[in-house]
Amino acid sequence: MAEIQLVAETRSEFGKGAARRLRREAKIPAVLYGHGTDPVHVSLPAHDTTLALRHANVLFTLDIEGTQQLAVAKDVQRDPVRQVIEHIDLLLVKKGEKISVEVPVVVVGESAPGTIHLVDMQHLTLAAEATALPQSIDVSIEGLEAGTVITAADVVLPAGVTLVTEEHHSVITIAEPKGEAAAEGEAEAAEAEAPAAE
């Protein structure tokens, strides 16, 4: 997993006006909470933070006035039009601590010829050590036939990672394309109705 070091500055001004000023200064307002501590309001460097958050489950090492804190992003609020990050909720973590995170599913391989795959779940919720969070989970569909359903329980997880998503949930379904199946059905029906050659 990626580990990013950032210098975080504490802030005492809140509200939309203060947030706008921070963003003009190329900073992102954030709140750091967890482990029963009072929330700490900080600002983060916008460019480095935005680059880091292109990856799932990044571990941040925050330097807050000389004190090092480990944290992960729990909620990222973006402008719906410009997709600029407006605010981040950060969760304090410790080495060895297990936390639940959403991990994207990556489909690997090709299903059997004449089939398609449908991704029923884009993410799985997993519990993993805070310092070893998976960024994605590969799920192989190589050679699988139509009608095959891969459930959460079928997904192979890295060592030390456990499943939080309920096991019976469908993750990927292998199917025949509906258009082709319908066309074949119509062709068969037409053949059955055609008069036999004399």
CA 22/CA 44 separation, integer angstroms = 9
Range 67-95 average pLDDT: 88
The pLDDT of residue 191 is 59
Give the residue range(s) of CATH 2.170.120.20 domains in the chain.
100-182
The pLDDT of residue 198 is 47
Range 109-124 average pLDDT: 96
Tokens of 52: 């880091």
Q: What is the mean pLDDT of the chain?
A: 86
The pLDDT of residue 22 is 75
The model carries a pTM of 0.73
Give the residue range(s) of CATH 2.40.240.10 domains in the chain.
3-93
pLDDT band at residue 20 using 50, 70 and 90 as cut-offs: confident
pLDDT band at residue 92 using 50, 70 and 90 as cut-offs: very high
The pLDDT of residue 11 is 77
Residue 32, pLDDT > 70, answer yes
Range 90-116 average pLDDT: 94
User: Could you tell me the CATH superfamily of domain 100-182?
Assistant: Ribosomal protein L25, C-terminal domain (2.170.120.20)
Is 32 buried (19+), middle (13-18) or exposed (0-12) by CB count in 10 A? buried
pLDDT band at residue 66 using 50, 70 and 90 as cut-offs: confident
Architecture of domain 3-93: Beta Barrel (2.40)
Range 134-153 average pLDDT: 96
Contacts 24+ apart (CB under 8 A), 43-48: 43/8, 43/9, 43/11, 44/6, 44/8, 44/88, 45/6, 45/7, 46/85, 48/4, 48/6
The pLDDT of residue 173 is 97
The pLDDT of residue 184 is 54
Residue 88, pLDDT > 50, answer yes
Range 8-30 average pLDDT: 78
| 155-196 residue pLDDT tens | 999 999 999 999 999 999 999 998 654 455 555 555 555 555
Residue 145, pLDDT > 50, answer yes
